[in-house]
Structure 1
Amino acid sequence: MADDFITLYRPDIFERFRGDGFADPLDARQWFASCLAFQYDDIAKRHSCEIRISPTRLEEVRLLWKRDTGRIDILGDTIPDHFKQAGFLAYWLRRRMVVGWSERHSAQHPTAEQDRFLLAVNEVCAFLVGLRLCVYFEYKDLIDSTDHIGHRLQELHLARNLKFDIATLLRHKNVSPHALYLIYRTLFYDMTKPEWNAPVLSLVR
């Protein structure tokens, strides 16, 4: 993959977000802004809406995310995994309210889903960007080819009620980046089902 290919779906995405490999800091800023702008636009279109985002606030997000994930690295003596990095990114995208304007597509009849999206557009977009990162890192080794990988992964959908419930939580409560990390990690947790024919263990001694 070319170093300048702008996509969320690349194994070095977090390094690119930090600015690694860019000789000019302005190039790193523009790469991040372009990458996130495409994702936000795609999410809005999937809800039959249009949005505009603030490049200035996106750069604030990048610097705050870079600072916080760098602290994790220093304090934990290890590089944070994709769930944690996605959690911090979603946290700052939501906190900085990068969407400055949003509306329905003019050709679309108003729908209840559009209403719910527009009511929490910053929260929905921030959470789904983080989720897309997690989906990519969890499943990239299972995909035979990287051709059109973004289109294939973006077809995966979170259940509508769960998506908007999480957006409402983010909108009305102070949800920490660590809590977002746990939400993302839990979504991919494969809980082993019990063998219902096995003897029931008593918890009472």
Structure 2
Amino acid sequence: MAARRAAREVSAARGALRVAVARSAARRASIMHEARGAREATPMTRRYLEDLKIGEKWMSEKMTLHAEDIIDFGCKFDPQPFHTDMEAAKAGPFGGLIASGWHLAAVAMKLCVRARLFGETPIVGVGADELRWLLPVRPGDVVYVERELVEIITHPDKPKRGIAKGRIDLKNQRDELVMRLYGLTSIPRRPADDLK
């Protein structure tokens, strides 16, 4: 009897996961369509290291984290009960389902990429410093990124590129800081022909 009940529970969980994955795929398709439209509608220019100014700030669009997305990411990349199972998470250290910190880092990256903060210049990450997860993010929370350029680094042995160091704060709908990191991005220097 217990084995049958366990089998039914496993079957129900698999069914719920299939539905969550289907919803997630539909949401991804919609997001990609929106991103293509935004790129086509907004002319962008390439930004070089010389165009950047310490103290530059911007805020991203907002994004809602849904239970299905949290569970999907958790099952794939951080399979702990408080990321993968609504019921088991209630007995866990956070009293409910929360997003993986790695999920939050990926969300922050997505929001930065979609904002096109360097115009047509791709974001070529070379590292992250001081990554901290400060508050749990739960299903239904709405997050956004505030970024500030805090340092521009040049190296004599790398004359064609430099590093832009930005403080990346992920905040929730209550403007509470949930994650902070310092992202290091390799940015091209302006070609000598353009300086004339």
- Do both share a fold (TM > 0.5)? no
Normalising to structure 1: TM-score of the pair?
0.31
Normalising to structure 2: TM-score of the pair?
0.32
Determine which structure has more spread, i.e. the larger CA radius of gyration: 2
More strand by share: 2
